[in-house]
């Protein structure tokens, strides 16, 4: 069988999250907040799913650059693997630093810093937009002459390490703190405390931060506060991804002159007018709803959706070579609707029932396509008609169960 064994990263990822959760409970620590964890996982599910469609594209870009523009002809060997490691880590440092210092890049990286927790679920907060920008920086590697296969293998390995430094469970690492990026170093990077902002950009080696003046040691007397300097106050899947691009748009639209507009795109996040964030929140978010506690029904329903999405994601990745285009589209559409739905349920939105309706219709279409029986198609048509006819009554009942 031609399986994509990268799919097993999903249960392995959940295994380590489970271990960290059990450890935190045993030690009486509060490492996990329910809504934060769900929001983190939702972002990760989307990125893993889109990787199916983008990985081949990124590899093709590396191949094209290597074949047409490579400066050197580098061959695989123990020395060149070490050289690739150093080059990759250095490129990452500058990608990461510029992603904090330039608005256009921060727009895709900000999602990784939105969580007010710091645990293994936070490591999942990578978006496909961030992957695209990162690919632009990785493109320097085939340009230097490193073979694309060599790069791809190493990026898979290199990507494992950052997962394990998104935790408060492992403490200090002694002597290794001097050369490696540790959970202590990276926890500071995720802090919104003024003394910790824009520090410790390294991925594996902390030496780059020490070399370029962005290193800071954790201070025992300072209690770390995680997340953004201005919290999102929302777990919406869509708001998490697009709030900052919308802020850039608003600032760009009302900026006077080319210089001001250029600064909006390529200046620092601090240069943006914070008032536009408040305007967008009033227009697109009902902030009063965030004070409502989640009902047991919300937690149970969102948990069930998240588990089902993870299982479906595992199946799609594992068997991607056996799925045709329509199957991939229907599975992906179902997952994305569910991710948007989960965040909207946590924020207790009223428009989510339209997503529920769309998801139900999507399932019926899938059944009708793959089991084109006359009686079955008639039943599906009748079910859609009934859902449409009793739409308002079903919606009222749905909200009564979920939100009260």
Contact 263, 63 (CB under 8 A): no
Q: Annotate 125-162 with DSSP letters as a single string.
A: ---HHHHHHHHHHHTHHHHHT--HHHHHHHHHHHTTHH
Contact 60, 145 (CB under 8 A): no
Say how far apart CA 85 and CA 90 lie, in whole Å: 9
Q: Annotate 175-225 with DSSP letters as a single string.
A: GGGGTB--HHHHHHHTB-SGGGTT----SSBSHHHHHHT---PPPTTS---
Give the pLDDT band of residue 286 (cuts 50, 70, 90).
low
Q: Annotate 64-79 with DSSP letters as a single string.
A: HHHHHH-SS----SHH
**pLDDT tens string 193-206:** 999 999 999 999 99
The first and second tokens of residue 259, run together, are 């210089």
CA angle 132, 206, 45 (to 5 degrees): 35
Residue 291 pLDDT greater than 60, yes or no:
no
3-class DSSP assignment, residue 96? helix
The first and second tokens of residue 127, run together, are 């978006």
The domain limits of the chain are 5-212, 237-284, 293-403
What average pLDDT does the segment 13-35 reach?
93
Contact 165, 186 (CB under 8 A): yes
Q: What is the pLDDT of residue 157?
A: 84
Residue 185 pLDDT greater than 90, yes or no:
yes
CA 301 to centroid of chain Cα atoms: 22
CA 19 to centroid of chain Cα atoms: 21
Give the pLDDT band of residue 288 (cuts 50, 70, 90).
low
**pLDDT tens string 154-169:** 888 888 999 999 999 9
Give the pLDDT band of residue 62 (cuts 50, 70, 90).
very high
Whole-model pTM: value is 0.90
Residues 6 or more apart whose Cβ sits within 8 Å of residue 364: 380, 383, 384
Residue 290 pLDDT greater than 60, yes or no:
no
Give the pLDDT band of residue 287 (cuts 50, 70, 90).
low
What average pLDDT does the segment 176-202 reach?
94
Residue 360 pLDDT greater than 80, yes or no:
yes
Say how far apart CA 212 and CA 97 lie, in whole Å: 11
Give the pLDDT band of residue 403 (cuts 50, 70, 90).
confident
Higher pLDDT, 1 or 350: 350
Give the pLDDT band of residue 138 (cuts 50, 70, 90).
very high
The first and second tokens of residue 32, run together, are 């996990």
Long-range CB contact pairs, 277-281, < 8 A, 24+: 277/230, 277/243, 277/247, 279/250, 280/243, 280/246, 280/247, 280/250, 281/233
The first and second tokens of residue 340, run together, are 């948007």
Percent of the chain surpassing pLDDT 90: 62
Residue 71 pLDDT greater than 90, yes or no:
yes
Residue 289 pLDDT greater than 60, yes or no:
no
Say how far apart CA 108 and CA 150 lie, in whole Å: 27
What average pLDDT does the segment 334-356 reach?
90
Report the mean per-residue pLDDT for the chain.
90
Residue 33 pLDDT greater than 60, yes or no:
yes
With b meaning 16 or more CB within 10 Å and e meaning fewer, what string describes 236-272?
Answer: bbebbbbbbebbbebbbeebeeeeeeebbeebebeeb
Q: Annotate 289-354 with DSSP letters as a single string.
A: GGGSPPPHHHHHHHHHHHHHHHHHHHHHHHTGGG--HHHHHHHHHHHHHHHHHHHHHHTT-STHHH
Give the pLDDT band of residue 80 (cuts 50, 70, 90).
very high
Q: What is the pLDDT of residue 140?
A: 95
Contact 318, 7 (CB under 8 A): yes
Residue 171 pLDDT greater than 90, yes or no:
no
Of 37, 62, 60, 213, the C-alpha closest to 125 is 37
CA 122 to centroid of chain Cα atoms: 8
Long-range CB contact pairs, 277-283, < 8 A, 24+: 277/230, 277/243, 277/247, 279/250, 280/243, 280/246, 280/247, 280/250, 281/233
**pLDDT tens string 199-253:** 999 999 999 999 999 999 998 888 899 999 988 888 999 999 999 999 999 999 9
CA 15 to centroid of chain Cα atoms: 19
The first and second tokens of residue 322, run together, are 């056996």
- According to DSSP, the residues that pair with 226 across neighbouring strands are 191
């Amino acid at each position: 069988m031609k399986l994509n064994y990268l799919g097993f990263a999903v249960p392995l990822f959940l295994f380590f999250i489970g271990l960290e959760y059990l450890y935190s409970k045993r030690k009486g620590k509060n490492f996990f907040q329910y809504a934060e964890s769900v929001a983190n996982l939702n972002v990760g599910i989307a990125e893993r799913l889109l990787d199916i469609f983008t990985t081949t594209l990124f590899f093709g870009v590396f191949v094209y650059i290597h074949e047409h523009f490579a400066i050197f002809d580098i061959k695989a060997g123990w020395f060149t693997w070490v050289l690739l490691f150093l080059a990759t880590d250095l490129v990452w440092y500058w990608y990461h630093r510029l992603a904090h210092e330039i608005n256009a890049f921060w727009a895709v990286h900000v999602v990784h810093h939105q969580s007010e927790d710091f645990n293994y679920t936070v490591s999942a907060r990578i978006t496909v937009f961030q992957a695209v920008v990162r690919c632009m920086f990785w493109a320097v590697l085939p340009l230097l002459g490193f073979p694309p296969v060599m790069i791809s293998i190493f990026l898979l390995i290199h990507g494992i390490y950052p997962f394990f430094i998104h935790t408060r469970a492992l403490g200090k690492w002694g002597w290794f703190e001097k050369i490696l990026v540790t959970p202590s170093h990276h926890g500071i990077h995720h802090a919104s405390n003024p003394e910790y902002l824009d520090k410790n950009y390294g991925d594996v080696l902390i030496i780059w931060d020490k070399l370029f003046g962005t290193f800071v040691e954790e201070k025992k007397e300072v209690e770390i506060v995680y997340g953004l300097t201005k919290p999102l106050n929302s777990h919406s899947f869509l708001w998490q991804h697009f709030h900052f691009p919308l802020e850039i748009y608003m600032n760009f639209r009302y900026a006077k002159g080319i210089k001001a507009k250029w600064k909006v795109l390529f200046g620092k996040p601090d240069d943006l007018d914070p008032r536009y964030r408040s305007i967008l929140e009033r227009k697109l978010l009902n902030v009063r709803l965030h004070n409502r506690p989640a009902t047991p029904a919300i937690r149970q329903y969102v948990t069930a959706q998240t588990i089902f999405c993870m299982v479906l994601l595992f199946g799609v990745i594992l068997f991607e070579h056996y799925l045709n285009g329509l199957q991939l589209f229907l599975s992906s559409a179902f997952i994305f609707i569910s991710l948007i739905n989960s965040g909207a349920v946590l924020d207790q939105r009223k428009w989510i029932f339209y997503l529920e309706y769309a998801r139900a219709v999507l399932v019926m279409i899938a059944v009708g396509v793959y089991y084109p029986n006359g009686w079955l198609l008639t039943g599906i048509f009748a079910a859609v008609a009934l859902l449409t006819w009793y739409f308002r009554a079903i919606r009222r009942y749905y909200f009564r169960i979920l939100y009260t």
